[in-house]
């Protein structure tokens, strides 16, 4: 039986907060009205906003040193979508789930689709996995997958990606995201150009198998598991590969995959300009691919990224429709709580960016009024738009306070009894 959070509990918890929410919403509405912004227009945008949840993010993460399994964590894709439904029922901005194959083991895709439909969930981008060997695998990925010097290993990796497309079709997905661990650990280990050529050849075979209404998203990452070089180390190699492949190939930006202090919002702008922005994996990081909760460390950076995205939306940039998704590892928190917080954090950045007075900003930019340019952004960023997020959830039948309602429901305690620990890591990340 599928475990859910009772709608009556959500209503009961909301009833306790409703009058305070209305007061705060009214006060914020008055404040925005002075800037000629209609709060209900902004709330309608918040209601439309969607960000996908990664199936692997619902399991407890870990590091290469240890993993501390959480109580009642999901043991398979069925339980992962059960948890995803809880996140969406409370947050109402996460109606899509992004699967990872073969971490997510599925025998019958039509049964999975039926179950996800019954949970009001859709499927986002399909993630392939050629960065580890599966039991009994004939040709190892130890020295790479799509760029391996062995043609047999490359063929295996290509076929897996083609299989992912077929599975995605059954689920109603429209995107394949390819991230590979290919690279090298020692200077001289790999011939840079030949390796990139092999990668591009393999990707061309995958691109050829793409339905005409699909996109192929390429994810770059500077290091790990390869610690000297990676095949698609940054957005430069990424966009080169995407340009070489064709218009259905685009670049995906995972916030944790850059060198520290890189100006990610500027990369986003460049990708938008050349119609190559495919999507995002949102998370936060201090040192590397830390996969911390979105906005937990650098909320201003996240806002500045959305400033670029909203600017593109405002200008009506042709072909602009990036996928938003979370990609995080929750090692010490309940993943459901972290994912709800993170979805709201990204939604917050989007809403705050909508408050930027764009004609005014353009005028300041034209006049080189650097201080007022900065203040225009800061004014929007510093506006506490919490009542808008809460009202958007409330109007869609979600929780005014998702975390408090979730805790009140004791969901984790209940599923803890129904899901005895498997000991394994549902996601594969350790
Ligand atoms: C690589 C990555 C990529 C994988 C996911 C599990 O670090 O960000 O998106 O598919 O983690
Ligand atoms: Mn990622
Ligand atoms: Mn990553």
Which residue is closest in CA terms to ligand 1's atom 1? 179
The pLDDT value given to residue 427: 53
Is the pTM of the predicted complex or chain greater than 0.95? yes
User: How many residues are given for the chain?
Assistant: 430
**CA distance linking residue 105 with residue 370, whole number of Å:** 53
The pLDDT value given to residue 49: 98
**CA distance linking residue 86 with residue 76, whole number of Å:** 16
Tell me, using a 6 A CB cutoff, whether residue 221 lines ligand 1: yes
Contacts of 84 (CB under 8 A, 6+ apart): 53, 55, 58, 94, 97, 119, 121
Residue whose token pair is 């409703």: 18
Q: Is residue 35 helix, strand or coil?
A: coil
Looking at the domain 51-355, which fold is it? TIM Barrel (3.20.20)
Which ligand does the CA of 57 lie closest to?
A: 1
The pLDDT value given to residue 23: 98
Tell me, using a 6 A CB cutoff, whether residue 127 lines ligand 1: yes
311's enclosing H/E stretch is helix 299-315
Tell me, using a 6 A CB cutoff, whether residue 254 lines ligand 1: yes
Report the separation in Å between the CA atom of 192 and the middle of ligand 1, taken as the mean of its atom positions. 22
Give, for ligand 1, the residue of 255, 281, 324, 430 to mutate: max count of ligand atoms closer than 8 Å to Cβ: 281
Ligand 1, closest atom to CA 254? 8
Report the separation in Å between the CA atom of 253 and the middle of ligand 2, taken as the mean of its atom positions. 8
The pLDDT value given to residue 319: 87
Contacts of 245 (CB under 8 A, 6+ apart): 200, 203, 204, 207, 216
Please determine, for the modelled complex, whether the ipTM score is greater than 0.95. yes
Residues of the chain with pLDDT under 70: 1, 422-430
Report the separation in Å between the CA atom of 179 and the middle of ligand 1, taken as the mean of its atom positions. 7
Contact 312, 275 (CB under 8 A): no
Q: Tens digits of per-residue pLDDT, 196-240?
A: 999 999 999 999 999 999 999 999 999 999 999 999 999 999 999
Q: Tens digits of per-residue pLDDT, 143-171?
A: 999 999 999 999 999 999 999 999 999 99
Which residue is closest in CA terms to ligand 1's atom 9? 179
Report the separation in Å between the CA atom of 377 and the middle of ligand 1, taken as the mean of its atom positions. 31
Distance of CA 392 to the CA centre of its chain: 21
**CA distance linking residue 98 with residue 326, whole number of Å:** 9
**CA distance linking residue 78 with residue 116, whole number of Å:** 9
202's enclosing H/E stretch is helix 192-208
Tell me, using a 6 A CB cutoff, whether residue 101 lines ligand 1: no
Ligand 1, closest atom to CA 427? 6
- For 362-421, strand residue ranges (E) read none
Contacts of 108 (CB under 8 A, 6+ apart): none
Edge-to-edge strands, sheet with 175-178 = 100-101, 126-128, 175-178, 215-219, 249-254, 277-282, 323-326
Report the separation in Å between the CA atom of 373 and the middle of ligand 2, taken as the mean of its atom positions. 32
Report which of 144, 60, 53 is spatially closest to residue 429, judged by C-alpha positions.
60
Tell me, using a 6 A CB cutoff, whether residue 327 lines ligand 1: yes
Report which of 123, 346, 103, 131 is spatially closest to residue 224, judged by C-alpha positions.
131
Give, for ligand 1, the residue of 55, 178, 179 to mutate: max count of ligand atoms closer than 8 Å to Cβ: 179
């Amino acid at each position: 039986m599928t475990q859910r959070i009772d709608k009556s509990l959500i209503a009961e918890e909301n009833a306790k907060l409703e009058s305070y929410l209305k007061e705060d919403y009214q006060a914020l509405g008055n404040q925005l009205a002075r800037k000629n912004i209609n709060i209900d227009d902004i709330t309608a945008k918040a209601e439309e906003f969607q960000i996908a949840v990664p199936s692997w993010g619902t399991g407890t993460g870990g590091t290469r040193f240890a993993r501390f399994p959480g109580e009642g964590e999901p043991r398979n894709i069925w339980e992962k979508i059960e948890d995803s439904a809880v996140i969406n029922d409370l947050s109402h901005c996460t109606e899509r789930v992004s699967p990872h194959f073969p971490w997510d083991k599925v025998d019958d895709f039509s049964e999975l689709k039926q179950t996800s439909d019954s949970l009001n969930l859709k499927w986002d981008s399909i993630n392939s996995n050629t960065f580890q060997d599966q039991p009994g695998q004939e040709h190892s990925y130890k020295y790479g997958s799509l760029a391996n010097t062995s043609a047999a290993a490359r063929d295996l990796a290509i076929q897996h990606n083609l299989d992912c497309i077929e599975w995605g079709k059954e689920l109603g997905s429209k995107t394949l995201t390819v991230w590979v661990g290919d690279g090298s650990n020692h200077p001289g280990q790999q011939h840079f150009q030949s390796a990139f050529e092999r990668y591009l050849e393999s990707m061309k075979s995958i691109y050829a198998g793409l339905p005409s209404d699909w996109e192929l998203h390429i994810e770059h990452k500077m290091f790990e598991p390869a610690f000297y070089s990676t095949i698609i180390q940054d957005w430069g190699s990424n966009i080169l590969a995407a340009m070489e492949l064709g218009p259905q190939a685009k670049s995906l930006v995972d916030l944790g995959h850059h060198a520290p202090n890189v100006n990610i919002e500027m990369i986003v702008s460049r990708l938008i300009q050349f119609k190559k922005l495919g999507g995002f994996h949102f998370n936060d990081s201090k040192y590397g691919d830390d996969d911390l909760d979105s906005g937990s460390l650098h909320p201003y950076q996240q806002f500045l990224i959305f400033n670029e995205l909203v600017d593109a939306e405002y200008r009506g940039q042709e072909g602009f429709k990036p996928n938003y998704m979370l990609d995080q590892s929750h090692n010490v928190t309940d993943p459901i709580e972290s994912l709800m917080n993170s979805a709201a954090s990204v939604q917050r950045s989007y809403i705050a960016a909508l408050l930027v007075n764009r004609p005014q900003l353009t005028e300041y930019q034209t006049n080189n009024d650097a201080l007022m340019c900065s203040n225009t952004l800061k004014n929007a960023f510093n506006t506490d738009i919490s009542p808008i997020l809460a009202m958007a959830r409330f109007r869609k039948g979600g929780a005014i306070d998702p975390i408090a309602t979730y805790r009140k429901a004791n969901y984790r305690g209940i599923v803890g009894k129904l899901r005895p620990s498997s000991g394994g890591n549902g996601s594969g990340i350790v």
